Amino acid sequence: MKSKLKNALILLIFLIGMIVIFRDVTDLWNQRDLKTIQVKAAYEILEVSHSIDYLIPTGKSHYYLALTEEGDEVAGYVVRASKKWAEQNFEDNFLAKSEDGVTVTALSKEIDGKYKYLINDKIKEMTNSLEGSGITLKLPIGKTNYLETGYRWKAIFKLVTLLLILIEIIIGILLAKRAKEANSRFMTVYLVAVILTVILFIASILITR
């Protein structure tokens, strides 16, 4: 009985962990929070360097304040995108290289609590700079949300990783039941696949940061 309870608890912890880590997979079907805007200008307001234990660099995140024209008003959106996105689409004066602007289709997400103050401070600076100009900056998705441009590839990456984990768990259970019949070459291939999936699993955690 204790063994069954222990196994059930381990399974429950595993399932909760999978839900937490791979919840972004549902972004592929989230149409409610999907936004399409035509950006006329954008400038970086925050660059975040990520690392493991402050020793191993794992990449950077870039947040931009993207400005659009909505009727007679100027609307501002916080957008998370790559450095390459900004370099390819905007001039040094922050204006879009195309007269029509840059089309951005991205998913609205909540800004990480660690960065909210810094980002809101930059938005406040922009708002203050517009005082007396007759231009009012509105924030259609508020100060606590941003648009994630890389939501699709991140969700696909996680979906593939999740499917590989589930497939390898099933194969592992079958191999455990037929350990004596297992081919040594197949076992080697399986172990290599497991190692690669572990690497993908770690990467799937890091890409959400």
Task: List pLDDT tens digits, range 48-66.
Answer: 888 776 677 888 899 999 9
Phi and psi for 32 in degrees, rounded to 5? Answer: -65, -40
pLDDT of residue 120: 92
| Helix (DSSP H) and strand (DSSP E) numbers for the chain | 5, 6
Lowest-pLDDT choice from 21-25, 62-66, 106-110, 157-161: 21-25
Beta bridge partners of 81: 62
Q: Mean of the per-residue pLDDT values for the chain?
A: 86
pLDDT digits (tens, 9 = 90+) for 99-120: 999 999 999 999 988 899 999 9
**Judgement on whether residues 50 and 105 belong to the same structural domain of the protein:** yes
Residue 160 lies in a domain: yes
Q: Which two tokens stand for residue 21?
A: 């880590």
pLDDT of residue 4: 67
For the chain, what is the domain count?
A: 2
pLDDT of residue 37: 95
Residue 180 lies in a domain: yes
Tell me how crowded residue 193 is: count the other CB atoms within 10 A of its CB: 14
Q: 91 is in which domain, residue-wise?
A: 31-149
**Judgement on whether residues 38 and 124 belong to the same structural domain of the protein:** yes
Residue 61 lies in a domain: yes
The number of angstroms, rounded, from the C-alpha of 30 to the middle of its chain's C-alpha atoms is 14
Phi and psi for 103 in degrees, rounded to 5? Answer: -80, 125
CA-to-CA distance for 68 and 184, rounded, in angstroms?
60
**Judgement on whether residues 59 and 120 belong to the same structural domain of the protein:** yes
**Judgement on whether residues 40 and 59 belong to the same structural domain of the protein:** yes
Nearest to 91 by CA among 43, 53, 124: 43
Looking at residue 94, the DSSP 8-state letter turns out to be S
pLDDT of residue 52: 74
**Judgement on whether residues 112 and 163 belong to the same structural domain of the protein:** no
**Judgement on whether residues 143 and 53 belong to the same structural domain of the protein:** yes
**Judgement on whether residues 175 and 98 belong to the same structural domain of the protein:** no
Domain boundary residue, one of 149, 177, 193 = 149
Residue 208 has pLDDT above 90, yes or no: no
Lowest-pLDDT choice from 76-85, 136-145, 175-184: 175-184
What pTM does this model have?
Answer: 0.85
pLDDT digits (tens, 9 = 90+) for 182-200: 677 778 888 899 999 988 8
pLDDT of residue 1: 59
Residue 185 lies in a domain: yes
* Burial class (CB within 10 angstroms; exposed 0-12, middle 13-18, buried 19+) of 183: exposed
**Judgement on whether residues 106 and 72 belong to the same structural domain of the protein:** yes
Q: Which residues contact 135 (CB under 8 A, 6 or more apart)?
A: 74
Looking at residue 95, the DSSP 8-state letter turns out to be B
Residue 108 host element (H or E):
strand 102-110
pLDDT of residue 181: 66
Residue 13 has pLDDT above 80, yes or no: no
Contact present, 35 and 147 (Cβ < 8 Å):
yes
